[in-house]
């Protein structure tokens, strides 16, 4: 299980030089708007692959007028301590995130780190998850798949690269058919894998919600499903390939591929009756918390993965149902939480075993 003992930020966002030690269980970051709570959660999230909770460009993470940031973490994994350094490298004005584990940046040591680190997030935008665009929901599900399978992003990146390649070929005057056929075969096999992984993740969440329902009274019945005109669980490689073949001329004109997991939507059906887009923002927060609870249950009890939870501005819109889900998440699992909010009072219901930090230093 992974826990962050402390973090030291240098020239990261609004922080010049800021060090803070954390508790193993519940850490609540409190402070005025703009003091740096989300920035601190973002810094923690960078320990995982990718660009963090805001999916920001690396250049924007560097404190204005500075040239580099350095984040040092001390991480505990199964009672062993690791020193993690995260910083930027600038090559031809392109910034790259570099990670070192105990001063070693070899692929092997980063792979080991990624095996143990799994981060789940809540950001305030998720209160409108079911009114946002489908790409936002795809991203949400993709983060959940990634938290369970840390090679998932490699798959998605490869898939996106092949999609671009296919359009480039289609838009050429002279088409290399062998090359196009091969690319479409690659797209079909990667696309199917993405569909299947998303589908399994959604099934795990739906099933874990059913398991949890036995001793947790949820305000709604929730069922997630993929909405996609071209996908069903029996979709074969050959069918996928023929869809791509048949949409060549459309895709050439449209400049994008009409078919595939990059076009799916994720629906949340409430009480077998209506779509979650009709829910209020507070109720959408309930849905997201239910999904996170189910995801934690799946990761901890079925995958033996202990995620770290980063819940930004989680204090608002917490009615008794939402509190109950959050409390259940805290009580049920031995995992580390980082919560943020503007007011300590919002967290009084968990204050007995939480440590509060006033984020003030700029």
Ligand X SMILES: Nc1ncnc2c1ncn2[C@@H]1O[C@H](COP(=O)(O)OP(=O)(O)OP(=O)(O)O)[C@@H](O)[C@H]1O
Tell me how far the alpha carbon of residue 251 is from its chain's centroid.
Answer: 30
Interaction partner, residue 261 (ligand X, Mg ion, none; CB < 5-8 Å by kind): none
Cα distance between residue 223 and residue 190, in whole Å:
26
Interaction partner, residue 191 (Mg ion, ligand X, none; CB < 5-8 Å by kind): none
Q: How far is the CB of 22 from ligand X (least distance, A)?
A: 17
Residues within window 32-51 making contact with Mg ion, judged by CB under 5 A: 38
* Contact mark string toward Mg ion, 6..35, x via CB under 5 A: ------------------------------
Interaction partner, residue 63 (Mg ion, ligand X, none; CB < 5-8 Å by kind): ligand X
Q: How far is the CB of 312 from Mg ion (least distance, A)?
A: 6
Residue whose CB is less far from Mg ion, 18 or 159 = 18
End-to-end, the C-alpha distance of the chain in Å comes to 32
Residue whose CB is less far from Mg ion, 37 or 137 = 37
* Number of helices and strands in the chain (H, E): 10, 13
Q: How far is the CB of 5 from ligand X (least distance, A)?
A: 22
Cα distance between residue 340 and residue 266, in whole Å:
28
Residue whose CB is less far from ligand X, 54 or 198 = 54
Residue 50 backbone zone (phi > 0: left; psi -120 to 50: alpha; other: beta): left
Residue whose CB is less far from ligand X, 60 or 171 = 60
Residue whose CB is less far from ligand X, 42 or 328 = 42
- Lookup: tokens for 307: 């995620």
Interaction partner, residue 260 (ligand X, Mg ion, none; CB < 5-8 Å by kind): none
Q: How far is the CB of 57 from Mg ion (least distance, A)?
A: 18
- Given CA atoms 244, 250, 252, 255 in this order, what sign does their dihedral have? negative
Cα distance between residue 42 and residue 13, in whole Å:
10
CB 250 within 8 A of CB 297: no
Give the interface with ligand X as residue ranges (CB under 6 A).
13-14, 31, 33-39, 60, 62-64, 313, 342
Residue whose CB is less far from Mg ion, 20 or 112 = 20
Residue whose CB is less far from Mg ion, 11 or 38 = 38
Q: How far is the CB of 72 from ligand X (least distance, A)?
A: 18
CB 357 within 8 A of CB 29: yes
CB-nearest residue to Mg ion? 38
Cα distance between residue 193 and residue 164, in whole Å:
18
Cα distance between residue 179 and residue 101, in whole Å:
40
Q: How far is the CB of 342 from Mg ion (least distance, A)?
A: 9
Query: Residue 233: which residues within 8 A CB-CB, separation 6 or more?
Result: 199
CB 52 within 8 A of CB 119: no
> Which H or E element spans position 302?
helix 281-302
Q: How far is the CB of 56 from ligand X (least distance, A)?
A: 8
Question: Would you tell me which residues interact with Mg ion (CB under 5 A)?
Answer: 38
């Amino acid at each position: 299980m992974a826990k962050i003992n402390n973090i030291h930020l240098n020239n990261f966002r609004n922080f010049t030089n800021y060090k803070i030690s954390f508790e193993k269980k519940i850490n609540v970051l409190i402070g005025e708007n703009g003091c740096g709570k989300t920035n601190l959660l973002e810094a923690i999230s960078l320990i995982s692959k990718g660009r963090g909770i805001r999916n920001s460009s690396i250049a924007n993470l560097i404190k204005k007028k500075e040239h580099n940031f350095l984040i040092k973490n001390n991480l505990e994994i199964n009672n062993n301590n690791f020193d993690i350094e995260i910083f930027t490298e600038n090559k031809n004005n392109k910034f790259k995130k570099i990670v070192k584990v105990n001063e070693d940046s070899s692929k092997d040591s980063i792979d080991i780190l990624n095996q143990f680190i799994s981060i789940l997030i809540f950001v305030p935008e998720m209160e409108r998850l079911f009114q946002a665009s489908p790409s936002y929901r795809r991203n949400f599900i993709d983060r959940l798949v990634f938290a369970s399978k840390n090679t998932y992003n490699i798959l998605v990146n490869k898939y996106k690269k092949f999609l671009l390649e296919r359009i480039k070929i289609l838009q050429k005057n002279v088409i290399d058919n062998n090359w196009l056929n091969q690319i479409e075969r690659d797209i079909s096999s990667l696309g199917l894998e993405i569909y299947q992984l998303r589908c399994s993740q959604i099934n795990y969440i739906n099933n874990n919600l059913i398991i949890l329902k036995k001793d947790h009274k949820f305000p709604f019945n929730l069922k997630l499903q993929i909405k996609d005109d071209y996908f069903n669980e029996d979709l074969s490689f050959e069918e996928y390939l023929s869809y791509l073949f048949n949409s060549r001329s459309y895709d050439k004109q449209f400049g994008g591929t009409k078919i595939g997991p990059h076009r799916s939507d994720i629906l949340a059906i409430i009480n077998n009756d209506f779509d979650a887009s009709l829910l209020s923002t507070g109720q959408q927060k309930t849905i997201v918390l239910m999904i996170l609870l189910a995801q934690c249950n799946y990761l901890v009890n079925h995958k033996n993965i202990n995620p770290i939870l980063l819940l930004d501005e989680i204090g608002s819109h917490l009615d008794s149902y939402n509190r109950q889900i959050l409390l259940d998440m805290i009580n049920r699992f031995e995992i580390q939480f980082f919560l943020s909010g503007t007011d300590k009072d919002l967290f009084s219901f968990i204050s007995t075993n939480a440590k509060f930090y006033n984020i003030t230093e700029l």
